[in-house]
Amino acid sequence: MPELPEVETTRRGISPYLEGSKIKKIIIRNRSLRWPIPSELEKKLQNQIIISLNRRGKYLLLETSVGTAIIHLGMSGSIRIVDNDLIPEKHDHFEIITSKNIIARYNDPRRFGCFLWAGKKPENHPLLINLGPEPLDSKFTSNYLYKSTRGKRTPIKQHIMNSRNVVGIGNIYANEALFYAGIDPNRIAGRISEKRISKLVDEIIAVLKKAIKEGGTTLRNYRGGNGMPGYFKQELAVYERENLKCKKCDSLIKRRVLAQRSTYFCRTCQK
């Protein structure tokens, strides 16, 4: 479900309800996410004021004065603000209830997500410490990405999907950005010119910004924090468009598996 734009949409949707609020209670119905939810987590967070809800890559950071909890939506997770009388469903694994009885409910059918404690220095948590720059941060420049590719023999698509190089770019937007940059996803990262890498950086930033503006991409059942679907799907140029016409040149979009992920591209437009 979520890549950076979807996580950011979720964050923006729920943070007005959470920031500055006091956590009255946390209810955990199923601890077995990707890693078990720590047994003390709800106790640690109880009665704490939520200072902020931030994002690092695809991780949501729930900051309180005693420390920060990490939430990840995995492949199929979502968080929604729900009405008090809405009965929890099968995959509603935990929820945060504020002193004003606002309920932020976490749902994740595949349970690839997580809810963990990161203490007072979340940036040092093992899940966060090796993360590369944020793509929408000024540190993510063409010079940076160019240098990161030198000597690398991996395909460029894998390179930009590797969170050590840059965070938040998942399968949808990797495909999309490479299409707009005119780069074959399979091209060896270390053999792409600085000029083309620069174009890629511009397109990554553009596609992420646009997707955030549209409220994320809704495939299957994704919903943002306010329960609304995203509207970016209709903009997708290549993702899930196998055998459909390329939007630039009319040849047919190809699908190929690269590093176990579906990869969509136009043979004519991407070299």
Partner DNA sequence: ATGCGGACCTGTTAGC
Partner DNA sequence: TGCTAACAGGTCCGCA
Q: Number of residues in contact with DNA, rule: CB under 7 A?
A: 41
User: Which span sits near DNA by CB under 7 A: 63-71, 93-101, 214-222, 244-252?
Assistant: 214-222
Question: How far is C-alpha 123 from the chain's CA centre?
Answer: 17
C-alpha atoms less than 13 angstroms from C-alpha of 53 in its C-beta half-sphere:
24
What would you measure as the largest C-alpha separation in the chain, in angstroms? 59
Among 124, 221, 251, 268, which residue interacts with DNA (rule: CB under 7 A)? 221
Residue 261 among the catalytic residues: yes
Q: Rule CB under 7 A: which of 47-106 touch DNA?
A: 57-59, 72, 74-76, 90-91
Q: What minimum distance in Å lies between the beta carbon of 72 and DNA?
A: 6
Is 219 a binder of DNA (CB under 7 A)?
yes
Q: What minimum distance in Å lies between the beta carbon of 112 and DNA?
A: 4
Tokens standing for 188? 């060896």
Instruction: List the beta bridge partners of residue 97.
Output: 25, 103
Residue 213 among the catalytic residues: no
Q: Rule CB under 7 A: which of 17-46 touch DNA?
A: 32, 34
Is 212 a binder of DNA (CB under 7 A)?
no
Residue 58 among the catalytic residues: yes
Q: What minimum distance in Å lies between the beta carbon of 120 and DNA?
A: 21
Q: What minimum distance in Å lies between the beta carbon of 261 and DNA?
A: 5
Tokens standing for 109? 């059918």
C-alpha atoms less than 13 angstroms from C-alpha of 42 in its C-beta half-sphere:
17
Backbone angles phi, psi at 210, to 5 degrees: -65, -40
8 Å CB contact between 83 and 2: no
Q: What minimum distance in Å lies between the beta carbon of 154 and DNA?
A: 4
8 Å CB contact between 217 and 176: no
Q: CA of 178: how far to CAs of 48, 59, 60, 182, 214, in Å? A: 43, 24, 26, 6, 20
- Closer residue to DNA, CB minimum distance, 25 or 255: 255
Q: Rule CB under 7 A: which of 131-190 touch DNA?
A: 152-154, 158, 163, 170-172
Among 106, 115, 140, 222, which residue interacts with DNA (rule: CB under 7 A)? 222
Task: Show the CA angle centred on residue 54, arms to residues 85 and 167, nearest 5°.
Answer: 120
The active-site residue out of 2, 122, 133, 155 is: 2
8 Å CB contact between 235 and 210: yes
The active-site residue out of 11, 56, 58, 157 is: 58
Judged by the rule CB under 7 A, the positions of this chain that interact with DNA are 1-3, 6, 32, 34, 57-59, 72, 74-76, 90-91, 109-112, 126-127, 152-154, 158, 163, 170-172, 216-222, 230, 259-262
